């Protein structure tokens, strides 16, 4: 492969700005996928991805394109995940490229997500090719958006491609721009192997498949390779490319993007961002920028039906094969029995994992309220990291509790500044900066407790700004906070799985709101259900779900009998979504009630 004829690029876009659609058009135009094979959003392979219109795993596709200059180029499209929870994965995918297409919605303009990714892209030195998408929409305003791109991003947008991926407009122009503006990769084939691992997943037949971008050297079958961060070595069985269907080739040289299969059993041996080298002729230094994946949000996952515990465990082991940022360890709750404490990159990641476990492994699960990791210094001087309210020591043993803070960058039209400032203050934020990017767009920087973010911050932000604000965040540090445990009692018994760690000065308010919300969520039962919120032995709020008074079938003769029994059987299925805690049946939503408190 001639290095000069390779272009490695990624697509940066805000959610819904048309990344998947444009990817599909590029595949179609270059004949990589025929129209008949084309399922919308070819690049998003998981059902969940297609339904939610997002990308969770990075995907790559190798496209052959004969340009106007008469040469045939190999274009490697590296599709990146598109959610704030997956920023690190995005940065690694971008590092595998020399350039990026920046898609901006021609009516909505630049969004915070775009900005955050673009910063990452320029940080790793990528050439940016702007594309204005959705120019077919009546509210599209290319001149205004071009100016905004120039003002905000400092990029020359005069040559920006005008496209409508949906209508197939501007596709060839985009391909030409890639060839012309994105530089070919550098690298030397006789240097020791250096390849960036930017994704990996488990395949039932082949074991772990890793996606790499070769910077120097050559990787081929039979070579013993070493992961520089984990130190593990494997012998390569196969190398290949996604064209976009997997195709085995003899070797991957400098500048090339493809997959490596090497008898690897676990994805955990292959951290994203790690450098692959030749074990016999290793590189001196790894590629820069490696970070071990770190769970930020924790919650309990329990089977509604306790007999599904082993099934859940097996399913999680399988899922972790594919997702090294998802962690779990056994946890026991008095109320819910045996389950697991799980770590996630964020709330979105948590939802995805739960949904996949339920859908792909046919489980019915209770997810407890998400929490962050607290640093607790005990009176004897020892330090414990606490990821579950159940594990918080009694107050008399606690000298200090610290919670993680993040730096949030919130990007929004200026009309929403007032409501966003109020939201950030309500969420215990510390303001760093208000930056007017243009007369109508503001960048707000706030230091916020991560715990507030994992609850409902993101949803609130979207609601309050009608979806126009967006946010990105980075971990800052641990800071001391006055935090206490808030308990929920159902009919006088503490339900440990409902406990929360909350700031002392918010405890009363939270307890009251939570008890009220639980009252809405818990259906009426055969007896009265009393919901109490308490701090220690002090009850701060009380709500009652009144008992059912009358539910009788009047007639039960002949044909009524099987009709009534079938109804019971149907209702019984519905009850499988409920967890019986003591006498009381709690719906799954009750355990996440805190996310629904307004």
Partner 1 sequence: MPIPQEKPIKNSIGVYAHIPYCASKCLYCDFNSAVARTAPERRYTDCLIKELASAAKAEDAKAGALQTIYIGGGTPSIFSPPPISRLIKAIKELLSPNADENVEITIEINPESIDDEKLDGYGNAGVNRVSIGVQSFNDAMLKTLGRIHTAQKAIDAFILARKAGFDNIGVDLIFALPGQSLNDWKAELQKVVELGAEHISLYGLTIEQNTPFYAKYKILSTDGLPSEEEEAQMYEVAVETLKKAGYVHYEISNFAMPGRLSRHNQRYWYGLDTIGLGAGAHSFVNTPPWGKRHWNEKNPERYMNLVEAGGKASAGGETLTKAQAMTECAMLSLRMIERGIDIAAFCERFGVAPDTAFKNLGMLKDSGLVSITDNAIRLTPRGVLISNEVFLSLTKTLL
Residues that bind partner 1 (CB under 8 A): 525-527, 548-559, 561-562, 564-565, 568-569, 571-572, 575, 583
From the CB of 495, what's the least distance to partner 1, in Å? 17
Smaller CB separation from partner 1, 245 or 564: 564
Place of tokens 């004829």: 5
Q: Which two tokens mark 442? A: 């503001």
Q: Which two tokens mark 291? A: 């970070």
From the CB of 567, what's the least distance to partner 1, in Å? 9
Look at phi and psi of residue 459 and say left if phi exceeds 0, alpha if psi is from -120 to 50, else beta: alpha
Smaller CB separation from partner 1, 144 or 564: 564
Using alpha carbons, list the distances in angstroms from residue 310 to 164, 356, 364.
49, 17, 13
What lies within 8 Å, CB to CB, of 571 at 6+ separation is none
Smaller CB separation from partner 1, 70 or 568: 568
In angstroms, the CA 233 to CA 246 distance is 24
Contacts 24+ apart (CB under 8 A), 115-122: 115/152, 115/153, 115/409, 115/411, 115/443, 115/472, 116/87, 116/409, 116/472, 117/12, 117/80, 117/90, 118/12, 118/153, 120/87, 120/90, 120/91, 120/94, 121/10, 121/12, 121/94
From the CB of 574, what's the least distance to partner 1, in Å? 9
Smaller CB separation from partner 1, 171 or 529: 529
From the CB of 309, what's the least distance to partner 1, in Å? 17
3-state DSSP assignment of residue 395: helix
From the CB of 558, what's the least distance to partner 1, in Å? 5
- The secondary element (H helix, E strand) that includes residue 78 is strand 72-79
| Contact present, 234 and 262 (Cβ < 8 Å) | yes
From the CB of 138, what's the least distance to partner 1, in Å? 39
Smaller CB separation from partner 1, 435 or 575: 575
What lies within 8 Å, CB to CB, of 372 at 6+ separation is 296, 297, 298, 387, 403, 404, 449, 450, 451, 454
From the CB of 561, what's the least distance to partner 1, in Å? 6
From the CB of 455, what's the least distance to partner 1, in Å? 33
What lies within 8 Å, CB to CB, of 95 at 6+ separation is 124, 196, 198, 213, 287, 289
From the CB of 572, what's the least distance to partner 1, in Å? 5
Of the candidates 264, 376, 358, 372, the one whose C-alpha atom is nearest the C-alpha of residue 316 is 358
Smaller CB separation from partner 1, 154 or 523: 523
Smaller CB separation from partner 1, 36 or 549: 549
Smaller CB separation from partner 1, 188 or 528: 528
Using alpha carbons, list the distances in angstroms from residue 522 to 517, 531, 591.
9, 10, 10
From the CB of 587, what's the least distance to partner 1, in Å? 14
From the CB of 581, what's the least distance to partner 1, in Å? 12
Q: Which two tokens mark 427? A: 């969420």
Using alpha carbons, list the distances in angstroms from residue 10 to 59, 97, 126.
10, 7, 10
Q: Residue 162 forms beta bridges with which residues? A: 132
Smaller CB separation from partner 1, 396 or 562: 562
In angstroms, the CA 362 to CA 482 distance is 41
| Contact present, 330 and 340 (Cβ < 8 Å) | yes
From the CB of 571, what's the least distance to partner 1, in Å? 5
3-state DSSP assignment of residue 50: helix
Place of tokens 């984990």: 230
Smaller CB separation from partner 1, 291 or 546: 546
What lies within 8 Å, CB to CB, of 557 at 6+ separation is none
Smaller CB separation from partner 1, 305 or 516: 305
From the CB of 569, what's the least distance to partner 1, in Å? 8
From the CB of 332, what's the least distance to partner 1, in Å? 21
Smaller CB separation from partner 1, 144 or 565: 565
Smaller CB separation from partner 1, 139 or 562: 562
Q: How many residues does the chain have?
A: 598
Smaller CB separation from partner 1, 537 or 551: 551
Place of tokens 């230094």: 285
């Amino acid at each position: 492969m001639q290095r000069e004829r390779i272009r490695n690029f990624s697509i940066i876009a805000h959610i819904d700005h048309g990344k998947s659609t444009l990817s599909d058009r590029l595949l179609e135009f270059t004949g990589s996928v025929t129209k008949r094979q084309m399922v919308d959003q070819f690049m998003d392979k998981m059902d969940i991805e297609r339904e939610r219109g997002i990308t969770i795993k990075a995907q790559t596709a190798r496209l052959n394109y004969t340009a106007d200059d008469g040469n045939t180029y190999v274009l490697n499209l590296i599709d990146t995940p598109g959610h704030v929870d997956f920023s690190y994965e995005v940065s690694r995918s971008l590092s595998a490229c020399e350039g990026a297409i920046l898609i901006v919605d021609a009516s909505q303009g630049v969004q915070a997500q775009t900005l955050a990714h673009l910063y990452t892209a320029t940080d790793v030195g990528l050439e940016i090719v702007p594309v204005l998408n959705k120019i077919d929409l009546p509210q599209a305003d290319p001149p205004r958006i071009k100016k905004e791109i120039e003002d905000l991003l400092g990029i020359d947008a005069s040559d920006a491609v005008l496209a409508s991926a949906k209508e197939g407009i501007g596709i060839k122009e985009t391909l030409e721009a890639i060839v012309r503006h994105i530089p070919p990769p550098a690298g030397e084939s006789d240097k020791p192997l250096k390849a960036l691992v930017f994704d990996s997943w488990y395949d039932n037949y082949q074991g772990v498949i890793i996606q790499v971008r070769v910077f120097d050297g050559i990787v081929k079958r039979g070579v013993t390779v070493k992961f520089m961060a984990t130190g593990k070595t494997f012998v390569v069985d196969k190398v290949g490319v996604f064209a976009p269907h997997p195709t085995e080739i003899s070797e991957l040289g400098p500048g090339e993007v493809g997959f490596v299969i090497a008898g690897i059993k676990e994805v955990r041996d292959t951290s994203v961002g790690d450098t692959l080298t030749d074990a016999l002729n290793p590189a001196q230094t790894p590629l820069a920028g490696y970070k071990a994946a770190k769970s930020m949000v924790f919650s309990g996952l329990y089977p509604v039906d306790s007999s599904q515990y082993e099934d859940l465990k097996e399913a999680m082991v399988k899922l972790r094969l594919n997702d090294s940022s998802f962690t779990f360890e056994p946890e026991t709750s008095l109320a819910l029995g045996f389950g697991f404490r799980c770590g996630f990159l964020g709330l979105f990641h948590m939802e995805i994992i739960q949904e996949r476990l339920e859908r792909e492994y046919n489980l019915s699960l209770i997810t407890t309220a998400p929490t962050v990791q607290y640093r607790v210094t005990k009176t004897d001087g020892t330090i414990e990291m606490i990821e579950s309210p159940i594990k918080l020591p009694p107050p008399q043993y606690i000298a200090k509790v610290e919670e993680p803070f993040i730096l949030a960058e919130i990007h929004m039209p200026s009309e929403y500044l007032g409501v966003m400032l109020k939201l950030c203050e309500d969420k215990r934020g510390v303001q760093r900066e208000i930056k007017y990017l243009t007369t109508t767009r503001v960048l707000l920087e706030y230091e916020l407790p991560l715990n507030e973010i994992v609850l409902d911050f993101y949803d609130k932000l979207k609601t309050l700004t009608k979806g126009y604000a967006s946010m990105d965040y980075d971990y800052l540090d641990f800071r001391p906070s006055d935090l206490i445990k808030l308990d929920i009692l159902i009919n006088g018994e503490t339900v440990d799985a409902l406990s929360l760690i909350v700031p002392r000065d918010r405890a009363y308010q939270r307890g009251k709101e939570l008890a009220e919300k639980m009252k809405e969520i818990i259906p009426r039962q055969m007896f009265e259900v009393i919901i109490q919120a308490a701090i220690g032995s002090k009850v701060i709020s009380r709500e009652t779900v009144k008992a059912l008074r009358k539910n009788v079938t009047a007639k039960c003769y002949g044909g009524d009998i099987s009709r009534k029994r079938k109804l019971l059987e149907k209702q019984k299925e519905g009850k499988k979504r409920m967890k019986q805690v003591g006498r009381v049946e709690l719906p799954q939503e009750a355990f996440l009630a805190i996310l629904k408190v307004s």
